[in-house]
Amino acid sequence: MSEFLIVGGGVIGLLVARELAAAGAKVMLVEQGSCCRESSWAGGGIVSPLYPWRYSPAVTALASHAQQAYPRLAAHLLDETGIDPELEHSGLLMLNAKDEEEALLWAATNCKALYPVEPAFIYDREAALAAGFRKGLWMPDIANIRNPRLGRALQSSLQSNPLVQIREQTQVLALQTNIDRGRGARRVTHVSVVREGVVERLCAEHVIITAGAWSGGLLATLNVTLPVVPVKGQMLLFRPPRRLLDTIVLTDGRYLIPRRDNHLLVGSTLEHTAFDKSTTEEALHGLRRSAEALLPELAECRVERQWAGLRPGAPDGVPFIGRVPGIDNVYVNAGQYRNGLVLAPASAQLLVDIVLRREPCVDPNPYDPVSRNVVG
Ligand SMILES: Cc1cc2nc3c(=O)[nH]c(=O)nc-3n(C[C@H](O)[C@H](O)[C@H](O)COP(=O)(O)OP(=O)(O)OC[C@H]3O[C@@H](n4cnc5c(N)ncnc54)[C@H](O)[C@@H]3O)c2cc1C
């Protein structure tokens, strides 16, 4: 029997497994498909919230912690696995942001590098941008990470760790509980999983739900109401014949992300269409229009690929991290919404701090399902 059973092998589940194993715990991770093929694969990999001052201090706290952790994590993963997650310190240029005063106040309060910039700076840095941008905000420290590679590196590293077992194509159907009479507490006794039509029971001392947009549905099998809902995001990929951009550029909620090999990602839509992951012509045209309005040369390039993913949406984008109310041995780490890649290392560390009763890396209260009235 494992000490910990983790449900969901996105970036959050894989990092929780890594953190637990680093503390010497025995872990089994169960993934219904293949690891890191859902939101963690579909995302853009900007290692910052977009317009970070618009988020609550709880998001800033996790993001700041994680931004410091990423360079070491990326270097260790490359060392351990030979897979480079390509953490690129490309900087983030926000054009025509309307709330400059709030941005500057947030930057001063949180000691972040964020500067107002003029056209001379903008076009000196990015000559291929469309003409006419008059002002911007520049965050030089922001990076982007190639999230599919991050996923592969994490999985590869865990697969060579004797403390960790990963079971893919294995779906958790339900969590069964009973009352521990001695302690009067409700506990999960086992978890029912299905693989290739065969149902099996798995046991663990503790269960950790890191099932992204599916976390609410899983916890509903325990009569726990977790307000995490799927929010679809569509993206496009271009492969221009030459390097057009070095910086992440953002305007009116739409962004371009340059990868090391000159690929350019364009994101993204925000759609409430339940668990539908289909792509649409409307999003293709809308995203393409936004991309060409930033970089006119893209009009000459064809779209290489379009895809969609399901973000785990939580109220105000603040994830739920901690023990599930009313059940002794179940924890959750879900609801990172648009920021799951940037928040992942800190979210994982905080959860493991809570589970192992270590000094928490950030104040755990804003994320605590109990104090946020998750109903169990
Ligand atoms: C278009 C788009 C752009 C984005 N851009 C960014 C960005 O630039 N920066 C950023 O920080 N974030 C970004 N995000 C958000 C980020 O991708 C997510 O917040 C993050 O990936 C969530 O990670 P996760 O591990 O919680 O979820 P997921 O990656 O979705 O993983 C959850 C896993 O749980 C598994 N699972 C579910 N139910 C079960 C079950 N019953 N049994 C077993 N396994 C189960 C799923 O198969 C899945 O693999 C973006 C997202 C999208 C869609």
What are 236's strand-pairing partners? Answer: 266, 306
Q: What distance in angstroms lies between residue 78's CA and the mean position of ligand 1's atoms?
A: 22
Tokens matching residue 218 = 């899983």
Mean pLDDT of 30-57: 97
Residue keyed to tokens 């991309």: 291
Ligand 1 site, residue 10, Cβ cutoff 6 A: yes
Task: Please give the number of the atom of ligand 1 that sits closest to the Cα of 211.
Answer: 34
> Looking at the domain covering 92-140+230-313, what would its CATH class be?
alpha beta
% of the chain residues with pLDDT over 90: 95
Nearest 5°: CA angle at 300, between 296 and 305?
100
Tell whether the model's pLDDT for residue 182 goes beyond 90: no
- CA separation (Å) from 99 to 53, 115, 136? 9, 13, 11
Q: What is the pLDDT of residues 134-180, one digit of tens each?
A: 999 999 999 999 999 999 999 999 999 999 999 999 999 999 998 87
Best probe residue, ligand 1, of 40, 60, 266, 330 (max atoms within 8 Å of C-beta): 40
The CATH number corresponding to 2-63+149-227+315-367 among 3.40.1190.20, 3.50.50.60, 3.30.300.130, 3.40.50.300 equals 3.50.50.60
Q: What is the mean pLDDT of residues 68-97?
A: 97
338 CA: nearest ligand 1 atom:
15
Query: pLDDT tens-digit profile of 186-203?
Result: 999 999 999 999 999 999
pLDDT for the residue numbered 374:
84
| Mean pLDDT to the nearest integer, 320-331 | 96
CA distance from start to end of the chain: 26
6 lines ligand 1 (CB under 6 A): no
Q: How confident is the model at residue 17 (pLDDT cuts 50, 70, 90)?
A: very high
Answer whether 43 contacts ligand 1 (Cβ < 6 A).
Answer: yes
Question: What is the pLDDT at residue 1?
Answer: 63
Phi, psi (rounded to 5 degrees) for 297? -60, -20
Q: What is the pLDDT of residue 24?
A: 97
Ligand 1 center from residue 142 Cα (angstroms): 21
Would you say the CB of residue 40 lies under 6 angstroms from ligand 1? yes
Q: Contact, 33 vs 169, CB < 8 A?
A: yes
pLDDT band at 184 (very low <50, low <70, confident <90, very high): confident
From the CB of 268, is ligand 1 less than 6 Å away? yes
pLDDT of residue 185: 81
**What percent of the chain has pLDDT above 70?**
99
Closest C-alpha among 61, 133, 60 to residue 102: 60
**What spacing in Å lies between the alpha carbon of 112 and ligand 1's midpoint?**
27
CA atoms of 365 and 33, how far apart (whole Å) = 32
Q: C-alpha distances in angstroms, 313 versus 168, 186, 306?
A: 24, 28, 21
**Ligand 1, closest atom to CA 235?**
1
Supply the angle between the helices 11-22 and 147-159 in degrees, to the nearest 10.
40
Q: How far is the CA of 162 from the centre of ligand 1 (A)?
A: 26
- Between CA 266 and CA 259 the distance in angstroms is 11
283 CB within 6 A, ligand 1: no
Atom of ligand 1 nearest to the CA of 336: 19
Is the pLDDT score of 77 beyond 70? yes
Best residue among 341, 342, 347, 350 to mutate for probing ligand 1, ranked by most atoms within 8 Å of CB: 341
Query: What are 281-324's pLDDT values in tens digits?
Result: 999 999 999 999 999 999 999 999 999 999 999 999 999 999 99
Give me ligand 1 centre to Cα 3, in Å. Answer: 24
What pLDDT is recorded for position 181? Answer: 74
**Among protein residues, the one whose CA lies closest to atom 30 of ligand 1:** 39
Q: Is the CB of 7 under 6 A from ligand 1?
A: yes
Distance CA 27, CA 6 (A): 7
| Residue range 223-249: mean pLDDT, rounded | 97
Longest dimension (CA), the chain: 72
Q: Which helix (H) or strand (E) holds 94?
A: strand 92-95
Which amino acid, one-letter code, is at 95?
L
* Residue 287 neighbours by CB distance under 10 Å: 20
94 has a pLDDT exceeding 70: yes
Domain ranges of the chain: 2-63+149-227+315-367, 92-140+230-313
How many whole angstroms separate alpha carbon 356 and alpha carbon 23? 9
Backbone angles phi, psi at 151, to 5 degrees: -60, -45
Q: How far is the CA of 149 from the centre of ligand 1 (A)?
A: 14
**Closest residue (by CA) to atom 12 of ligand 1?**
339
Question: Average model confidence (pLDDT) for the chain?
Answer: 96
Residues 6+ away with beta carbon under 8 Å from 332: 208, 209, 210, 215, 219, 226, 320, 321, 322, 324, 369
Q: How far is the CA of 18 from the centre of ligand 1 (A)?
A: 17
166 lines ligand 1 (CB under 6 A): no
The span from the CA of 353 to the CA of 333, in Å, is 12
